[in-house]
Structures are given as structure tokens and as C-alpha cells.
Amino acid sequence: MINKNYRCYFTDAGDRIRTYEQIACADDTVAALKVDELLSISQYTSAELWEGKRLVGKWAVNGHADPNGKHIANGTAEAK
């Protein structure tokens, strides 16, 4: 299987990008789990995951909401 290239942008309280991590994963679900992992050890409290020009989702330390309005907890989508 070919991995997709993603960027995880860590953002500050003002939603400004402070740094990023480039990651390669098989799909969005695996990439979302990686963002959870990276954010848990980061000094930042929020992040965005992008695949090229496509926003995959936004995270905050207290949870994650994807662009389609679903809440993501531990990689599982739940309807709001």
C-alpha cells in the first residue's frame, strides 16, 4: 500500500501555525491517530491535519472535530 503525505500543523491559542510535522500514513484514520499521539506529547493545545490542499481535521486537546461536523474520539467518528 502506498502512504499518503500529510502535514500536522500545531497551532497556538490564536489559531496561528507555530510548527508542523510531516507524516506519511496509509489513510486518514491512521493519520488521525498519529495526530492524537503527536498532540499528546506536544507543548501546543491544537493542531490541523492537511493532505495537500485538503483539510482532514482540526484537533484540540479536549477533542477533535473534523470539517464534516463529526466529533472524533480515539479515531472513531461520532455524530454531533
Q: How confident is the model at residue 76 (pLDDT cuts 50, 70, 90)?
A: very low
Determine the pLDDT at residue 7.
98
Q: Which residues contact 53 (CB under 8 A, 6 or more apart)?
A: none
Determine the pLDDT at residue 1.
76
Quick check: 60 and 70 in contact, CB under 8 A?
no
CB atoms within 10 A of CB 31: 25
For residue range 23-72, what is the model confidence (pLDDT) as tens digits? Answer: 999 999 999 999 999 999 999 999 999 999 999 999 998 665 555 444 44
Determine the pLDDT at residue 5.
98
> What pTM, to 2 d.p., does this model score?
0.75
* CA atoms of 41 and 13, how far apart (whole Å): 17
Start-end of H helices in the chain: 28-40
* CA atoms of 79 and 76, how far apart (whole Å): 10
